[in-house]
Each structure stands twice: as C-alpha cells, then as structure tokens.
C-alpha cells in the first residue's frame, strides 16, 4: 500500500473516530491502553511472509480477533506486520484488524514492517528512516490529540542483525535517534520491538525523562516507553501458556495522561 492510499484510508476514518472519541472524553483522569505486538508476519517469526494456509484462514483469523478483543487496546502497535494474512492473499486488515477504523501501515521491507491500529483519529503521520542501520529499519510517528494535548505515538522495530563489527550498536544508535527526534515533544509513546536483551540499554530513555513500562518483568525485547504519562499497569497477552499467535510475548500497559508534562 502506498502513502497516498494510506492517507486516504485514514482521512476516511476521521469523522467516525472524532464522533467516537470527543476531546472531553479522553481528558482528565481517563487512561488509554497500549499494546505492543510482534506478530511475526503470521509465521511465528520464522519467515518474513505469512505461513497461514487458505484452509486455516478462518480459524486463525478468529483466534487473532479473539485475542484483540480480550486485550481491548486503544492503540495496538504491531511489529513484523504483514499486509497479507494467508497464502490465498487475503488482507490482514480485513481478516484480523477490521474492528479498528484507523490503520496506519508502514512499508514492508523484508522483516521490517510496522503498523498502528486505533480508534483515535491520527491527525498526521510520517515515516522516518533510521540514520544508522544494517536493515531498512524505520519508525512511524503518528500524532493524535488527547483533549487539548498533542501526543505522538511511535511504532517501530529496531535493528536486530548482529554484525561482526557492530553487535547491537545499531539498536543503541536508533534509541538515541528516537530521543533526539522527540526531545521537544512533551508527550510521547514509543511502542516497539527494541531488540534489546539487556535492560540497561533503556537507560538513555530514563535519562531523557521517559518511563519504561516493562522493567524486566517480561523479556524486554518488546516494550512501551513513555514521556508525559503515568504507567498505571503492565500486562502481557500470553500468561504462562505457549505463544500460538506471536513471535514474541505481547506486552501492554494502561497509561494516564500527566496534566503537567515533563
């Protein structure tokens, strides 16, 4: 899907979303629920293309929809997204994410593909490439309003490829680029597969005034990092059961807007 098509799809949804989420309804003490999901291209992360056979499509799409209904996200950030749901070419936006009127889809670059699904109107968005990278990594910057407050929702998948001369360094540089890019924005939500295995690598976020939702309770590959919000709760979508739908554990949190941003 090209940028023009994405923009048209989002614009068509704005009227519905504005009616569903008036400014007065999302201010004050209201919380929003954010879920980060590395969905693994509907192939459990073993391939950059879907592994779902046509005869499995109906049952699998029902499983994914049931998980979304259980999680109840206001903002669902997806890493390793695939626009194609099954090998018959059915679209995942129709089969899995049709309940979300706003869908921001980034380009698919092999294993890299980011998407945001929400019921809130996204007023503008852009795709920003990472300056230092070994893959075609990028982040989605989506701006929406909570009451009278401008908020940036960022969805990303950081560099994972370990090269002999720079193991994990690209991910660290990309964290620094995110911090620099939003240094003048008081309210930011960054949902991503950070490809960070050592929690200490989140330290630059804390130094820049961010709070980290998953401080090591679950594997910290996937996380939600925020500025201008209080993290009210942390939860996962897998519990102790085997992961049947994801490449990684689903991680989510409930956020309360701070009336005075840092």
Mean pLDDT of 82-90: 97
Q: Is the dihedral of CA 193, 195, 200, 201 positive or negative?
A: negative
What does the DSSP 8-state code read for residue 226? E
Residue ranges of domains in the chain: 3-257
Mean pLDDT of 50-62: 95
Mean pLDDT of 224-237: 94
Topology (CATH) of 3-257: Deoxyribonuclease I; Chain A (3.60.10)
Q: Helices marked H in the chain — which ranges?
A: 3-20, 57-71, 92-95, 169-181, 203-207
What's residue 242's pLDDT?
47
Tens digit of pLDDT for each residue in 91-144? Answer: 999 999 999 999 999 999 988 999 999 999 999 999 999 999 988 999 999 999
Higher pLDDT, 26 or 74: 74
Instruction: Give the whole-angstrom CA distance, residue 140 versus residue 10.
Output: 14
Instruction: Give the whole-angstrom CA distance, residue 157 versus residue 138.
Output: 7
User: Does the pLDDT of residue 2 top 80, yes or no?
Assistant: no
What's residue 8's pLDDT?
41
Instruction: Give the whole-angstrom CA distance, residue 3 versus residue 239.
Output: 37
Phi, then psi, of 207 in degrees rounded to 5? -65, -25
Phi, then psi, of 151 in degrees rounded to 5? -130, 140
Model pTM?
Answer: 0.87
Please provide the distance, in angstroms rounded to a whole number, between the alpha carbons at the two ends of the chain: 37
């Amino acid at each position: 899907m090209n940028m023009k098509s994405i923009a048209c799809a989002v614009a068509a949804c704005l009227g519905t979303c504005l009616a569903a989420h008036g400014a007065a309804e999302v201010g004050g003490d209201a919380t929003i629920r954010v879920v980060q999901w590395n969905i693994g291209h509907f192939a459990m992360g073993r391939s950059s293309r879907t592994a779902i056979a046509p005869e499995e499509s109906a049952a699998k799409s029902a499983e994914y929809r049931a998980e979304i209904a259980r999680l109840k996200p206001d903002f669902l950030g997806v890493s390793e997204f695939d626009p194609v749901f099954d090998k018959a070419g059915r679209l995942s936006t129709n089969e899995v994410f049709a309940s979300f009127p706003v869908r921001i889809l980034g380009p698919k670059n092999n294993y890299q593909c980011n998407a945001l699904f929400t019921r809130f109107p996204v007023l503008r968005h852009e795709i920003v490439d990472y300056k230092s990278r070994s893959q075609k990594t990028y982040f989605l910057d989506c701006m929406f309003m909570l009451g009278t407050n401008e908020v940036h929702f960022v969805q990303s998948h950081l560099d994972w490829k370990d090269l002999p001369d720079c193991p994990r360094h690209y991910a660290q540089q990309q964290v620094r680029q995110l911090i620099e890019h939003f240094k003048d924005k008081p309210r930011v939500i960054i949902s991503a597969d950070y490809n960070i295995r050592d929690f200490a690598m989140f330290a630059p976020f804390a130094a820049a005034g961010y709070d980290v939702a998953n401080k090591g309770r679950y594997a910290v590959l996937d996380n939600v990092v925020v500025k201008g919000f209080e993290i009210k709760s942390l939860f996962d979508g897998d519990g102790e059961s085997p992961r049947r739908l994801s490449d990684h554990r689903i991680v989510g949190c409930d956020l309360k807007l701070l009336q005075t941003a840092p």
